[in-house]
Structure 1
Amino acid sequence: MTNTALITGASRGLGLALARSLAGAGWNLVLTARGADDLERAAAELGATAIPGDVTEPEHVRRLAQAVPELDLLVNNAGDLGVTPLPPLAGYPLEAFRVLLETNVTAPLALIQATLPALRAARGAVVNITSDAATGAYEGWGGYGATKAALEQLSNVLSAEEPEVRVWWVDPGEMNTRMLADAVGAEEAAAATDPAKVAEALHDLVKARPAGGKVSLQ
């Protein structure tokens, strides 16, 4: 029986790297991201289903849930860095913070709620991608880190409430991605870990299926 995974933010970075790893193991993939062109190219490469759109939009969430009546793995990888250059909390624009919460916290919860029946039926798993900024006091990272802290606690409670569904909140460490480059500059980002290496570790986690909890991959 073929396993099915739904991955958000799958057009580049960790989402695309994980999709490639799972595709190599024969998984059936449903991929979503806002960048339709990049997503379609990724789906064509991997033989996956592409459903471009914004996970903050309820209609898009409904479309994704309808596409996966059977679901073994949901990966909430899509996220936003927020305002750049990264501002101190004293000057963080509040409307921008509300948008960041919508993207990094509310949208993952909405997709979890929409796909839980399929995940329960399959005794599936949820991976929520978080960050060490959720717990570290890094100057400038307060807005982003606060949303990831909220996502971690959401994951923690969901793990307790849904014992038949594995829930992991995963800190992948610094990766050479466009998001990190936007935060710290391209030169520093280039020295970070290749997302493909992190994706292999994440794939190993899914295969091992340990108890739900926080996982640090670096």
Structure 2
Amino acid sequence: MKTALITGGSRGLGRALALELARDGWNLVIDARDSTALAAVAEETGATAISGDVADPAHRAELVRAVSGGLDLLVNNASTLGPTPMPRIGALPVDDLAGTFATNVLAPLALIQGVLPGLRERRGAILNITSDAAVENYETWGGYGTSKAALEQLSNVLAAEEPDVAVWWADPGEMNTAMLRAAGEDADAAPPPAEAAAALRRLISDRRPSGRYRAADLAATR
């Protein structure tokens, strides 16, 4: 049985992807800060739930220990917008940007480093969830977008360095999530996370080459 570790698995895309992989028979380890919501997803999927903050080194160490028996897929999905309402880049406090990077860039890298030996051994895969904000110049999205751009380049280099591990960085597109709502966007007009999760499941099951993918493109090439 294949094992996946999904961060930010209590709601939104993380929950939807956990449901997709559970239906495919994956063994799951999921994390999130909201222990109550996380436990509900664990009950739905049979996953092992480990609540905590991915920016906390002790929590990351616990996650790495939980998959020490073997890991086939790491999904770095947990992320933060930073301060909300989101300020323009010229007014973004540097300390707040550092906090955004701690969750959106440094935590994924630390988890990758912790599980990479096992992924190499099993020829596993890494899926880093990114955003169109990494490549577009949306006003007030500068802090979040900069962190996702860093995650994309980190993924790009990792893919070149690790030929035996599939490394994907994927833009799920707009989704009806609490995060989009917190950003002040009309989340109700966006599609449900289940649509992006189904597209990403195809990416995983097909084991496509390392690279950047958009969920919309994956959904269009069934």
Deviations 1:187-207 (A, max 9, x none): x11111110011010001000
Distance in 1, Cα, partners of 2:87 & 2:117: 40
Give the superposition deviation at 1:94: 1.2
Letter in 1 for 2:198: E
Distance in 1, Cα, partners of 2:120 & 2:194: 29
Partner of 2:213: 215
DSSP 3-state at the match of 2:183 = helix
**1:195 and 2:193 are equivalent in the alignment:** yes
TM-score (norm 2): 0.95
Write out aligned runs for 1:32-71 (5 A).
32-69=31-68, 70-71=70-71
Partner of 1:204: 202
Give the superposition deviation at 1:154: 0.2
Distance in 1, Cα, partners of 2:28 & 2:89: 38
Letter in 2 for 1:155: S
Distance in 1, Cα, partners of 2:5 & 2:37: 17
Distance in 1, Cα, partners of 2:146 & 2:45: 34
Partner of 1:3: 2
**1:107 and 2:107 are equivalent in the alignment:** yes
DSSP 3-state at the match of 1:31 = strand
Write out aligned runs for 1:1-218 (5 A).
2-69=1-68, 70-185=70-185, 188-218=186-216
Give the superposition deviation at 1:214: 0.2
Aligned-residue CA RMSD (Å): 0.7
**Count of residue pairs the alignment pairs up:** 215
Give the superposition deviation at 1:210: 1.1
DSSP 3-state at the match of 2:29 = strand
Distance in 2, Cα, partners of 1:16 & 1:133: 22
Letter in 2 for 1:111: L
| Structure 2 unaligned regions, length at least 5 | 217-222
Deviations 1:55-86 (A, max 9, x none): 11111111111111201100000000111111
Percent of aligned positions that are identical: 58
DSSP 3-state at the match of 1:37 = helix
TM-score (norm 1): 0.97
Deviations 1:81-105 (A, max 9, x none): 1111111111101111110010100
Letter in 2 for 1:30: V
DSSP 3-state at the match of 2:4 = strand
Give the superposition deviation at 1:184: 2.4
4+ residue stretches of structure 1 with deviation over 4 A? none
Distance in 2, Cα, partners of 1:184 & 1:172: 18
